[in-house]
Structure 1
């Protein structure tokens, strides 16, 4: 078959690209290929599948008639096995081929399984797909304890939901504090405290050197000689971009598909977006994997606009960390640079705490410019804060007011900007 636009991958980046293409080009043939057999869903819903708070049928992120209304040729349950960029053709695992004029690779990423001795000999689960979540839910019914390797968002979400289901949970993290990619030490410690108060054991600064079975138990041997065991093992140690099928395609891959500010690859009629794309970072020229839904959605939109030659397309500003995290009735978020140090800048930190309300807020400034925010249980507007950071807004005349009343002052500044 032949199509004008071919999108491989049906999650946030691919769907965002479809919307962008159809706003500019409503008639050209558009095809989407996805490995999932069920309608598109958000991976953020997976922990709630595990806990039983929601059902798979309630996690769809598009209407049932979405593809029909947009005249999209929807091919599900299939994956690309090879791309021949010389003849503009994609080969699928079912033996079929698709000829394209323009291609977007939005294949996302898979769970990263760390290289630990014995890992191939034990049963474990990851949390990346709906099938993963359903598998864990079944395992929970037969388990009393669980081990989790990795204390990022996925690992901590899993810890909360497994603990809420009555399991004894132990989390092991290599870094010295939890959620190191998204929160600074201060906010991380407060989040950790909430988990410990719920009876969850968290071991940070610990390296797993070996995994093995002992009867019905899975045992983790730590580098310091300690051992811990549990009925089930969950691995949440990061992601790996899905690029294996791109061998010999001529598409440049380096920890992901390397793209420019319009999501273009080194091949003229091929774009990439989402967790498979290695794009510019907002704070530096280095290329990184965005790894968040906001990044994937923005990249997909820009790719779709560029593919359809939309005159309003703008360059991608770069990957900017933005994460939200609900845990045990608390709410935390982080945006931008929340680290204690950053190359070539003299950062200022404004920290506000209220122990009674269990609230915390840290603003990071580079001179008059806000570069990062991390907060727990604070009434703030993450959307406005993100815009202030993206626009590199000069707050010099309003900095003191912003620190005192960030919600109100932030809104006032945005009104003035518009």
Structure 2
């Protein structure tokens, strides 16, 4: 391979791909272009320990700057790619520079979904996606400050938990009838709603946001039903959108993400894609997925690097995710959509440790584990092997976890 590899994006997939390219034996120059002024860092801690000021940037940075210099990886932090010229095999930056590539990796990630209601441009309304967002939100961390969180998904609830631990008055507004409704069964939703309320967080479900009140700075959130929720500041967490604009503009196949095969190749054989921005085939579930997870970004980064070197290592793994709220670690294995039965192991009503097994027929397709590491670890293999289980054995805690699939 005689030309540079260019990586567009400065997140987890980009950093992993660069590292894996060197591990795969690629010796020519690598260039990474990232919009942010920082080297790639972990995003999950931003709404957890980093937001809580329990750790600093040194604990979320994926690799020190010296790693890139030592491995002949030229970094262009704070540099936006504005165009991909597939015919000329080059990329153009916002300041007019052009760089040629032999192979190109698009690891453009995703951005927050913004709320477009009256008053949405006022000061004091934030999203949480990067370091700058966290620093802006932290400036309002004062005992007794009134925070309204719009959105009861992972991010919203994690922010609510951190803010409450810092002595703030916290209200969560969720448009659906329960929190985390897109990813968990009502059993898990109701458990988390109860825990948050016990911690002092006010949770309002079935509430849509019609607008924000205030002159130049937000003072309240308007539900549009005659109710205002006073706020000193607001954090909005209503989902993310894949960054596919560059791919669309240069003519790549895009359908709810940049379409790639199991080796992260796009419709152009010299362009690959990895991470949040991709739509990829998954043999376990039998359809395409677009995943927003660290695990997906890391594994696709590895797969793309191998494929660029002509060493195909198809990506076909069970998705998994996690969320930290208070002393609770929720670990999710697989995708529960389409399940026909949810079987509980443990007691979510009286304890803070249980697991929910999602069955389609009698086959395990997903597991939610709350403070249940053994169930979490075992469930990866259960889902991957499409294991059939007896619901009675799942629920019976006298049967050891490793013995559930026996008999």
Name the TM-score, length of structure 2 as normaliser: 0.90
Task: State how far apart, in whole Å, the 2-side matches of 1:402 and 1:302 are.
Answer: 38
Instruction: Say which is worse superposed, 323-332 or 189-198, in terms of deviation.
Output: 323-332
Residue 266 (structure 1) shift? 1.3
> Tell me, which stretches of 5 or more residues in structure 1 are unaligned?
414-418
| Contact 2:260-2:267 within 8 A present in 1 as well | yes
Cα deviation digits, residues 115-143 of structure 1 (max 9, x gap): 22331345411110011111111132497
Number of paired residues? 402
**Where does residue 6 of structure 1 map in the other structure?**
6
The RMSD of aligned alpha carbons is 2.7
| Contact 2:212-2:218 within 8 A present in 1 as well | no
Residue 77 (structure 1) shift? 1.6
Task: State how far apart, in whole Å, the 2-side matches of 1:151 and 1:77 are.
Answer: 32
> Tell me, which stretches of 5 or more residues in structure 2 are unaligned?
none
Task: State how far apart, in whole Å, the 1-side matches of 2:19 and 2:105 are.
Answer: 13
Task: State how far apart, in whole Å, the 2-side matches of 1:222 and 1:119 are.
Answer: 13
Task: State how far apart, in whole Å, the 1-side matches of 2:322 and 2:237 are.
Answer: 18
Structure with greater helix share of residues: 1
Name the TM-score, length of structure 1 as normaliser: 0.87
1:352 aligned onto 2:359: no
Residue 281 (structure 1) shift? 5.1
Residue 338 (structure 1) shift? 3.1
Residue 279 (structure 1) shift? 2.1
**Where does residue 27 of structure 1 map in the other structure?**
27
**Where does residue 17 of structure 1 map in the other structure?**
17
1:172 aligned onto 2:173: yes
Q: What are the within-5 Å matches in structure 2 for residues 85-234 of structure 1? A: 85-141=86-142, 144-213=145-214, 217-234=218-235
Q: 1:391 to 1:13 in 2, by over 3 A?
A: farther
Residue 375 (structure 1) shift? 2.2
Instruction: Say which is worse superposed, 52-61 or 198-207, in terms of deviation.
Output: 52-61
Residue 188 (structure 1) shift? 1.3
**Where does residue 416 of structure 1 map in the other structure?**
none
Find the residue that maps to 1:261 and give its secondary structure. coil
Instruction: Say which is worse superposed, 59-68 or 95-104, in terms of deviation.
Output: 59-68
| Contact 2:345-2:395 within 8 A present in 1 as well | no
**Where does residue 295 of structure 1 map in the other structure?**
296
Q: What are the within-5 Å matches in structure 2 for residues 318-329 of structure 1? A: 320-329=318-327
Residue 102 (structure 1) shift? 0.7
Cα deviation digits, residues 272-315 of structure 1 (max 9, x gap): 1111112235665553420111111111111111111115x12x
